[in-house]
Amino acid sequence: MVEKIKRIIEACPLFDNTDSDYIRKLGSVVSYRAGEIIADENGFRRALGLVLSGRAVAENSGGNKTARLNEFESGDIFGAATLFEEADFRYMSTIRAKKITEIMWFSEQAVVRLITEKPAFALNYAKYLTGKIRFLNGKISGYTGKNAEKCLEEYVKYNCEKSPEGMCDGNVSRLAKELCVSRPTLYSALNSLIDKEIIVREDECLYMKANKKNEGE
């Protein structure tokens, strides 16, 4: 088991050029049953997670529908971008084990120790976060200079295309925060797109009208 963990650590870009045995000793392994919640807004662990085995998914729920945002398998990490958030931070999605899944957790203190003691890890961490920022900047640039209605349409289209279920979380508070607009502005844009039959809203889930039409054919 020790050698398997070391191989997974060595294969993870975040731990390039570091001592896998040293890193292994800083982590703690937790096993989750299929269907068990690994992290959500009520049970957010301030730690970096490395998937050792199994498979987990990140989901957002709206009404009676659930949108899949991401999947994590052996060697994948999560939590790096939120590890040093403010004390009142609440995780925006739910990470759930799809089958028996083992996670190696690195506490905030352990990550701080790695950053201060292992320059290679600090550089890898910076590269990882830079990649995240570049991805988000790409999304933001698509919205800049456009009105709220156009921003919302493109945001919903992007997330529907990314989701296996072809849907987007329709929670107004979260959408307003994502698009940096007020709730009244968001409501106005959403109602306009629904009236124009560009977007369909079911419970707290949003769909592109064209996609829903194709599903019914």
pLDDT for 199 equals: 93
What pLDDT, on a 0 to 100 scale, did the predictor assign at position 63?
55
Ranges of each domain in the chain? 2-135, 145-216
pLDDT value for 167: 86
Pick the CATH number of 145-216 from 1.10.10.10, 3.40.50.150, 3.40.1350.10, 3.30.2020.30: 1.10.10.10
For the chain of 217 residues, list the mean pLDDT of each consecutive stretch of 10.
Answer: 92 92 95 93 82 90 65 90 70 86 96 95 91 65 64 86 82 79 85 92 86 53
Q: CA 195, CA 90: separation in Å to the nearest integer?
A: 33
pTM listed for this prediction: 0.64
Pairing of strands 47-53, 55-62: unpaired
Cβ count near 67 (within 10 Å): 23
Q: Considering only CA atoms, which of 193, 194, 171 is closest in space to residue 183? A: 171
Provide the pLDDT for residue 27: 95
CATH for the 2-135 domain, from 1.10.8.80, 2.60.120.10, 2.60.40.3500, 2.40.50.100 = 2.60.120.10
- Over the Cα atoms of the chain, what is R_g? 20
C-beta of residue 190 within 8 angstroms of C-beta of residue 150: no
Q: Are 60 and 66 in contact (CB under 8 A)?
A: yes
3-class DSSP string for the chain? CHHHHHHHHHHCHHHCCCCHHHHHHHCEEEEECCCCEEECCCCCCCEEEEEEECEEEEEEEECCEEEEEEEEECCCEECCCCCCCCCCCCCCCEEEECCCEEEEEEEHHHHHHHHHHCHHHHHHHHHHHHHHHHHHHHHHHHHCCCCHHHHHHHHHHHHHHHCCCCCEECCHHHHHHHHCCCHHHHHHHHHHHHHCCCEEEECCEEEEHHHHHHHHC
Tell me whether strands 55-62 and 77-78 are parallel, antiparallel or unpaired. unpaired
In this prediction, residue 217 carries a pLDDT of: 45
- At residue 48, the pLDDT reads 93
**Opening angle at CA 169, ends 166 and 171, nearest 5:** 155
Q: How far apart are alpha carbons 79 and 44 in whole angstroms?
A: 10
